[in-house]
Amino acid sequence: MKWITREHPKIDRIACPWLIKKFVDKEAEFIYVAPDRVQQKAAQLNAIPFDIPGVEFSHYEDKCTFDYIIEKYKIKDPAIKTLAVIVRGADNDRHDIAAQSSGLWAISAGLAYNNKDDYELLEKGMMIYDALYSWATFLQREKHTQNPIDHLFIDVFNKFIKQKAAKKKTPDWVKELKEIIQDQIDTNLNLTEISKSLDINPSYLSRKFSKHFNNLSFGEYTRKLRIEKAIELMKKNKYSLTEIAYLTGFSDQSHFTRIFKQHTGKNPSVFRKEIAKK
């Protein structure tokens, strides 16, 4: 089988070929091309496209292409399940889900930086996953430091680090982001644009947002604030519902009505009448 994907691989586009070679097709051939040529070349070469949007072998929700291949070909090896979490964490910048993910990302990024030829990179990258597979199969319980006293110090150190992390204060960017949202709640807020002003990667900001904002996504949080502002404006009884929709950043009154009802269970007009009776 021929497989084709985007050029300049790092994590998934090296891990998947290794997985396919080891468990699916030992004779598999892999091709790297520019992102906008993958589908065209796949058709020309009768190759299977992978790790690009809109194809079967791709990311699904929080799972990466490596996960999908495991499910597709029903790979049951316990060591592969261990590797899947590491690869997923490295490929999705979720270094919290596996201690080895940050290391895999660092090694993969450095390897890609040092090797500009994708096929040379693939050959060397295969060795990384051979090593990881051996570790996951035979060595997971091994530790580099064998001295019991060393283990004691390491355990104490890790406990201290975890306690310190738990007490860590709210990041400065969270406070700044709250102020930006409060100040611009009546505008068309865009998380990508906001991330530029904060000088933070937009994907990182999107992932971390709910952690610091009441377990709400960016859209959920801004809609909640807009509805709260709308209720305050209703209490003043100075504006029409159309004006309130505009002042709270909704594109039109029907959109405002729909979101308001989702949050309060009542239409704005009914809600306003009940306020007036109090």
| Cβ density class 140-164: b for 16+ within 10 Å, e for less | eeeeeeeeeeeeeeeeeeeeeeeee
pLDDT at 161: 59
pLDDT at 209: 85
Residue 2's DSSP bridge partners are: 29
Residues, the chain, total? Answer: 278
8 A C-beta contact, residue 15 and residue 128: no
* Domains of the chain with CATH codes: 2-139 (no CATH), 172-277 (1.10.10.60)
DSSP-derived secondary structure for 132-175:
HHHIIIIITT--S---HHHHHHHHHHHHHHHHHHHTPPPPHHHH
Q: Give average pLDDT by consecutive 10-residue segment, the chain, 278 residues.
A: 95 97 96 95 96 94 95 96 96 91 94 94 96 93 62 61 60 83 77 81 84 86 88 86 85 84 89 82
pTM score of the predicted model? 0.55
23 by Cβ neighbours in 10 Å (0-12 / 13-18 / 19+) ranks as middle
Measured distance between the N- and C-terminal CA atoms of the chain, rounded to whole angstroms? 72
Between the CA atoms of 19, 21, 25 and 27, what dihedral angle is there, to the nearest 10 degrees? 160
**Could you count the other beta carbons within 10 Å of the beta carbon of residue 41?**
16
Nearest to 133 by CA among 99, 88, 87: 87
At residue 107's C-alpha, the angle toward residues 211 and 22, to 5°, is: 100
pLDDT at 275: 82
176 by Cβ neighbours in 10 Å (0-12 / 13-18 / 19+) ranks as middle
Determine the Cα–Cα distance for residues 134 and 130; give it in Å rounded to an integer.
6
pLDDT at 97: 92
pLDDT at 35: 92
SS3 3: strand
Determine the Cα–Cα distance for residues 276 and 278; give it in Å rounded to an integer.
6
pLDDT at 20: 97
> How many angstroms separate the Cα of 278 from the Cα of each of 114, 238, 275?
70, 17, 5
pLDDT at 238: 83
pLDDT tens digits, one per residue of 17-43: 999 999 999 999 999 999 999 999 999
pLDDT at 145: 59
